[in-house]
Chain A
Amino acid sequence: MYCSGDQLIIKIIAVDSIQNGEFNISHETAKEDFSLLIQALDASISGIILTDNRLPDNPIIYCNKAFEEMTGYQRNEIIGHNCRFLQKEDRGQPERATLRAAIREGKKCIVDIRNYRKDGTLFYNELYMSPIKGENGQVNYFIGVQNDVTRRKKAELDLRHQQEIMERQVLERTQSLKESEDYLSSIVQTVRESLIVLDPEFKVLSVNEHFLKTFKVTTEDTIGKLLYDLGNGQWNISALKELLENILPTNNPVEEFEVEHDFPHIGKKLMVLNAHRIELEGHYKDRILIAIEDITDRREIERRKDDFLSIASHELKTPLTTIKGLVQMMQRMVPAELSDKFKSILNKTGLYVDRLNNLIAELLDVSRIQTGNIELHKDVFDFDKAVQEAVETIQSATKSHEIQISGNTGEQVSADESHIVQVINNLLSNAIKYAPYHKEIIVYLSRVSNFVKFSVKDQGMGIKQEDHKKIFDRFYRVGDIQQRFPGMGIGLYICDQIIKNHGGTLWVESEPGQGSTFSFTLPLNKQPA
C-alpha cells in the first residue's frame, strides 16, 4: 500500500458487480482504480494533502508529488505533521484564523497564505480546504489543494506598491501645490502694493490685504462685486474704465498708467496702475490683474523736495552774487603797487566763487532730472548767434586759451536756449579745464541733414575708449582725473540729459594724448531735403 489513505478508499469500494440494482466494485477493480487515482493525483500540478481530523492535531496523512515539489520536503518529512509547519516562524498571518474557524466548523474555505519551502524561501500558497464528512456528518478528513501563486501575488503586491507610491506622490504633489499656493499667497499678501484680480467681466475675484487697508474696505463688500460698484460706486472712475475697456484689450499689458481720483472717504489719491490680462490658455485666461501703487505721498514729497531745492538754490545764489560782485570790484580796483600775492589771492577767491556757483546750479539740475522735472522752454533762436555769445562769454573769462569758431549752421532752432547754452558752456569749460597746456580750442558748426551739429575740439589729454560712454554717467569721474581736476562728475550727465530731452545726441571722439572732440546734434523741425 502506498499510503494510509488507501484504507479509506477500500472501505468505500467493496464488490465490483451489480446486485439488486446496486453497483458494486470488485477488489481488483478497486485496486486498479486506486493506483490510477494515485497516478492522477501525482500528475496534478496542484499540491494535494489529506489530513485526519479525528487524530490529535489534525495530521497530514497523504500528500501528492506536486506537494513535495512545491514545498521541497520529502514525504517522510510531511506525513504526520500538522500543516502549520509550512509557515515556519511566520505565525501571525490573519488567514490562520480563517483556517481554524473553517476546521472548527467543518466548512470549506480558501485562503492565500505565506508558506516557506524547506530551504526557507517564501511562496504564496492559495489553499483550498474542504472537509470530508462521514455518514453522521462528522468531519473525518480535510482535503487541501494548494497552488503556488507567488507570481500572481507578487504582481498583486507590485501593483499595490505602485499604487501606494502613486498615492503618496499625488499626496506629495497636492501638498506641494498647496504649499506653493500658500507661499504665493503670502507673497501677494505681504506686497506693499494693492493687488486686484478681476474676471473678464470686471468682477473682483480677489484682493490682497494692502488693498483692503489702503481703500478701507472689507473682503465681504469687495469679492464678487463689479469693480466699478465697489464702495458705493467710489470706483466708478472714468480713467479706470478707459484703461480696462479701451486700452487693455489692445495694449496688454499696460504699465505705469496714472489715475487721479478723489475718493469720498479716503480723499484724493494719485495712483499708478499696472494692468495685465492673462493670455495663457486655460483656467485663468482673460483674468485681469491690477497692481495699484499709491504715489500720492511720494508725489507730494517730490514736489516739496523740488520746492526746497529751488528755494535753497535761490537763497544760496543771492549772497553768492554779492560776493562775486564785490570780488570782481576789488579786482578792478586793485592799486598797481599791490603785491602779486595779494592779486593772486583775490583771483583765486573769484575762481572759487564761480566754482561754488556751478556746484549749486548742477545740484539743482541733477535733482530736477532725477525727478523728471527738466522743463524745456522752447523758443526759436539763432543757433550760430547763441554759440557765438557763449564762446565770447567764456573767452572773456579766460586768458589761457583761444577759442575759434569754424563754419556755421545758418539755422534757427526751436529749443530751450538757456539749456543749450548751458551745454555749450559746459563743453567749452571742459575743453579748457582738461587741456591746460594747449591753448587752441576749435568750435565747429555745421548743418547735417535736418540737424545742426556743434563740436568742440581740444588738444588735451584725451579719453580712453572704455570711458567714452561712462563719462556721461552721473557722478562718474575718470580714475586719475579726480586728484588733478576737482568736480562732481555731473556736468556731462546733465548735458547728455538736456540734449536727449531735445531729441538730439551727445558723444565724444577721443584717444588718449590726442585731444577730445565733443559733439552734439539738435533736430531742426523740418524734413531732410
Chain B
Amino acid sequence: MENKTILICDDDEGILDMLEIVLEGNGYKTVPVQNSLNLYEMIEREHPDLLLLDLWMPVLSGDQVLKSLRKNPQTQELPVIVISASRDGKQIASAAGATDFMSKPFDLEFLLDKIRQYLN
C-alpha cells in the first residue's frame, strides 16, 4: 500500500495542500494537479492507482475529463472518486462514470475508508 499513487485534481490550492498532507500522512504517494488540462499528461506519466477529481474547474470540468477518461481503454478501469461541493454533484459524477462520490466537506475517516476500499 505504501507505493500506491493517488492523483489529486482540483483547481483549489487549499484542497490540494490538505489532501497531500492527509494522504502522505497515511502513507500514499500523491500527485497534485491544479490545472485539469494537464491531467491526461500527468496520468500518462504517473500511472496513478486512483484519481480524486473535482467537478467545478475552469476550462475543463471534472465531468468532461471523466467522460474522456472512460473512453480511453487505458483509463477505463481507473478508480475515480469525484469530490464536489455541488449539490447535484453526485448525479453529474455518476452520469460521467465515476467509481464513487464524496461531497465536500467530507470526513477524513470516510475518505480514507473509501480509498482503502478501491486500492486493496
Chain A stretch 349-398: residues in CB contact (< 8 A) with chain B: 353, 357, 364, 375, 377, 393, 396-397
Given A325-B22, A333-B25, A318:B87 Cβ within 8 A: no
Beyond the given pairs A317-B105, A329-B21, 18 more chain A to chain B contacts, judged by CB atoms under 8 angstroms and listed by A's residue number, are A310-B87, A314-B86, A317-B85, A318-B14, A319-B14, A321-B104, A321-B106, A322-B17, A325-B22, A326-B21, A328-B22, A328-B109, A329-B18, A329-B22, A329-B25, A332-B25, A357-B105, A418-B90
Q: A326 contacts B18, CB within 8 Å?
A: yes
Given A310-B87, A314-B56, A314-B86, A397:B21 Cβ within 8 A: no
Contacts of A319 in B (CB 8 A): 12, 14
- Expressed in whole angstroms, the Cα–Cα distance for A393 and B83 within the complex equals 17
Given A310-B86, A328-B108, A329-B108, A318:B12 Cβ within 8 A: yes
Residue A81 interfacial (CB < 8 Å)? no
6 contacts between A and B (CB under 8 A): A321-B15, A321-B105, A322-B14, A324-B106, A326-B21, A326-B22
Q: A353 contacts B108, CB within 8 Å?
A: no
Residue A426 interfacial (CB < 8 Å)? no
Contacts of B107 in A (CB 8 A): 328, 393, 396-397
Residue A222 interfacial (CB < 8 Å)? no
Contacts of B72 in A (CB 8 A): none
Given A318-B12, A318-B15, A320-B105, A377:B110 Cβ within 8 A: no
Residue B78 interfacial (CB < 8 Å)? no
Contacts of A332 in B (CB 8 A): 25, 108
Chain A stretch 258-310: residues in CB contact (< 8 A) with chain B: 310
Which bracket fits the contact residues of A? 20 to 34
- Expressed in whole angstroms, the Cα–Cα distance for A317 and B25 within the complex equals 23
- Secondary structure at the B interface, as helix, strand, loop or mixed, is helix
Most chain A beta-carbon neighbours within 10 Å: one of B18, B83, B88: B18
Q: Mark A496-512, 1 if CB is under 8 A from B, else 0.
A: 00000000000000000
Residue A313 interfacial (CB < 8 Å)? yes
Residue B3 interfacial (CB < 8 Å)? no
Chain B stretch 91-120: residues in CB contact (< 8 A) with chain A: 91, 104-110
Q: Which residue of A lies closest to B14 (CB)?
A: A322
Contacts of A353 in B (CB 8 A): 105
CB-based A-B contact count at 8 angstroms: 72
Q: How many Å from the CB of B12 to the closest CB on chain A?
A: 5
Q: B109 contacts A396, CB within 8 Å?
A: yes
Q: How many Å from the CB of A312 to the closest CB on chain B?
A: 11
Given A317-B105, A318-B104, A393-B107, A364:B87 Cβ within 8 A: yes
Q: A322 contacts B86, CB within 8 Å?
A: no
Residue B19 interfacial (CB < 8 Å)? yes
Q: B22 contacts A313, CB within 8 Å?
A: no
Given A317-B105, A326-B21, A353-B105, A393:B110 Cβ within 8 A: yes
Which A residues form the contact surface with B (CB < 8 A)? 310, 313-314, 317-326, 328-329, 332-333, 353, 357, 364, 375, 377, 393, 396-397, 418
Contacts of B15 in A (CB 8 A): 318, 321-322, 325
Most chain A beta-carbon neighbours within 10 Å: one of B14, B25, B86: B14
Q: B18 contacts A325, CB within 8 Å?
A: yes
Contacts of A323 in B (CB 8 A): 105
Q: How many Å from the CB of B82 to the closest CB on chain A?
A: 13
3 closest Cβ pairs, A-B complex: A322-B14, A317-B85, A328-B108
Most chain B beta-carbon neighbours within 10 Å: one of A319, A322, A396: A322
- Expressed in whole angstroms, the Cα–Cα distance for A66 and B84 within the complex equals 120
- Expressed in whole angstroms, the Cα–Cα distance for A74 and B16 within the complex equals 132
Contacts of B25 in A (CB 8 A): 329, 332-333
Contacts of B90 in A (CB 8 A): 418
Q: Which residue of B lies closest to A320 (CB)?
A: B105
Q: B105 contacts A325, CB within 8 Å?
A: yes
Q: Which residue of A lies closest to B110 (CB)?
A: A393
Q: Which residue of A lies closest to B102 (CB)?
A: A321
- Expressed in whole angstroms, the Cα–Cα distance for A314 and B92 within the complex equals 15
- Expressed in whole angstroms, the Cα–Cα distance for A393 and B19 within the complex equals 21
Contacts of A393 in B (CB 8 A): 107, 110
Contacts of A325 in B (CB 8 A): 15, 18-19, 21-22, 105-106, 108
Contacts of A357 in B (CB 8 A): 105
- Expressed in whole angstroms, the Cα–Cα distance for A322 and B107 within the complex equals 11
Given A314-B86, A317-B104, A325-B105, A377:B19 Cβ within 8 A: no
Q: A377 contacts B21, CB within 8 Å?
A: no
Contacts of A321 in B (CB 8 A): 14-15, 18, 83, 85, 104-106
- Expressed in whole angstroms, the Cα–Cα distance for A393 and B113 within the complex equals 12
- Expressed in whole angstroms, the Cα–Cα distance for A317 and B17 within the complex equals 16
Q: Which residue of A lies closest to B55 (CB)?
A: A314
Q: B21 contacts A318, CB within 8 Å?
A: no
Q: B108 contacts A377, CB within 8 Å?
A: no
Q: How many Å from the CB of B81 to the closest CB on chain A?
A: 14
Q: Which residue of B lies closest to A324 (CB)?
A: B105
Contacts of B106 in A (CB 8 A): 321, 324-325
Q: Which residue of B lies closest to A353 (CB)?
A: B105
Chain B stretch 1-22: residues in CB contact (< 8 A) with chain A: 12, 14-15, 17-19, 21-22
Q: How many Å from the CB of B110 to the closest CB on chain A?
A: 7
Contacts of A329 in B (CB 8 A): 18, 21-22, 25, 108
Q: A377 contacts B88, CB within 8 Å?
A: yes
- Expressed in whole angstroms, the Cα–Cα distance for A463 and B57 within the complex equals 46
Contacts of B88 in A (CB 8 A): 375, 377
Contacts of B17 in A (CB 8 A): 322
Q: Mark B21-47, 1 if CB is under 8 A from A, else 0.
A: 110010000000000000000000000
- Expressed in whole angstroms, the Cα–Cα distance for A201 and B108 within the complex equals 70
Q: Which residue of A lies closest to B83 (CB)?
A: A321
- Expressed in whole angstroms, the Cα–Cα distance for A47 and B56 within the complex equals 118
